[in-house]
Amino acid sequence: MHRVNLGIVGGGTVGGGVFQAIARNGGLMASRLGVELRVVRVAVQDLAKTRPVRIPAALLTTDWRSLVDDPAVNLVGEFIGGTTTAREILLHAFSRGKSVITANKALLSAHGEELFAAAQANGANLYYEASVAGGIPIVKVLREGLIGNQFTRIYGIVNGTCNYILSRMKLEGAEFADVLADAQKLGYAEAEPSLDIDGHDAAHKTGILASLAHGFWVNPKEIYVEGIRSVSRKDIQFAGQMGYTIKLLGIVKKSTTAPAGSKRFAPVQVSVYPALVPNTHVLASVNGVFNAILVRGDVVGDTLYYGRGAGQDATASAVLSDLADAALDLKCGIQNRVPPFVPHERAGAVTPIGDVVSPYYVRLSVVDKPGTLAAITAIFGRAKIGISSVRQPEGTEGDSVPLILMIHDATNADLTKALAKIAKLAAVKAPPIMLRVESFE
């Protein structure tokens, strides 16, 4: 039986999980693939550190370079995270003609284009299924399963921490800060949670999906990112009364037409933000730490992928999928059997957030007195922005009360300008709250 020797860099949650999964199901995979899988070396920072998964001391080293350079190592797994040393590891492995498996979405978001080019130039491959949505095989879906489709829409709940927080806020009527503190105690959120709750983790994953789906590498700086800090219990309650659930979505939408007079491809919206999702839509029922991704292809229509988006076992499962592909490639002597990324639309472009058109939910805190609503609607009218509905809980005249407006389709730029003018009205007592409404059309 052909054998593949894996060198793992990183012995923590992900690296340890992969080692444990191979020990558990390596024999099963060998019987299915006709390839024996063996971990021959594991590079770690501290040999004396206690790890969640026990790795035999004979396999451990603190020198990742010696691991990569070891002629016995056929394949390298990078599971240390970060974008500095990890990038160095990948480039060094590629320079040796060795393929790499990674779960590092931040690295791919920041340096993906460079890394894919380096792999191709050196006859190596880069496998990255575990970088997006944990155990959901979404990379393989886009690269292989739906390769005959143009992707018109991708909607993803791709951050379990944010989904857990928003789910509990809805189900329990709790405030953001209280649920975040519980999530930190339970280990669902980091002590410093900004990567998750400010939307950056979701942006890394959404950018990778957008690049893969549309054939041009999306610059992370062009992704509009908005987290969930501003989502309040009030907004979740008002949204629920109108038949909506608030979810943090990673959104990839291709415009139906290219800009007038342009020879470029139709631009693609690549955004991360909290949005109102109709309760009748399947994504509204995705709760807790689970992820879900809806992919719309022009041939297949809508398809949905659901599962755990993070955690040791879910990530290890995705790595095993890549390990199987890599093992078969090595066995058959194939280079880039399925290229990791093919830049087939180099003229592609990201739609600026100001040009994105959407319906909106707007909450204002206003003084309940005659003329207030008229002044607000006049500003919207001059901006040619339509109002589809108005809701105002009963209050005492002269008090500050919430005013909920559902807005017809408008560009983000036009609505932002109108809200800036509304905020200056004497009757408006707090900065306007604006959330987008996703209709999934």
Active site annotation includes 49: no
CA distance 159 to 309: 7
Sign of CA dihedral 45, 46, 51, 54: positive
Neighbour count for residue 399 (Cβ, 10 Å): 10
CA distance 225 to 398: 37
Q: Residue 339: in which H helix or E strand, if any?
A: none
Sign of CA dihedral 236, 239, 245, 248: negative
Instruction: Tell me the CA distances in angstroms from 264 to 33, 45, 207, 260, 426, one per residue in order.
Output: 43, 47, 20, 10, 46
Nearest C-alpha neighbor of 350 from the set 137, 207, 169, 189: 207
Catalytic one of 205, 247, 253, 254: 205
Instruction: Tell me the CA distances in angstroms from 147 to 144, 176, 203, 293, one per residue in order.
Output: 5, 40, 23, 17
CA distance 125 to 100: 6
Judge whether 68 and 293 are in contact, CB under 8 Å.
no
Nearest C-alpha neighbor of 48 from the set 66, 62, 63, 38: 62
Place of tokens 């029922």: 285
Neighbour count for residue 400 (Cβ, 10 Å): 15
CA distance 257 to 333: 42
The residues, any chain, with a CB within 8 Å of residue 414's CB and separated by 6 or more, are: 383, 384, 385
CA distance 312 to 315: 5
Helix (H, G, I), strand (E, B) or coil at 321: helix
Judge whether 341 and 116 are in contact, CB under 8 Å.
yes
Judge whether 325 and 127 are in contact, CB under 8 Å.
yes
Active site residues: 205
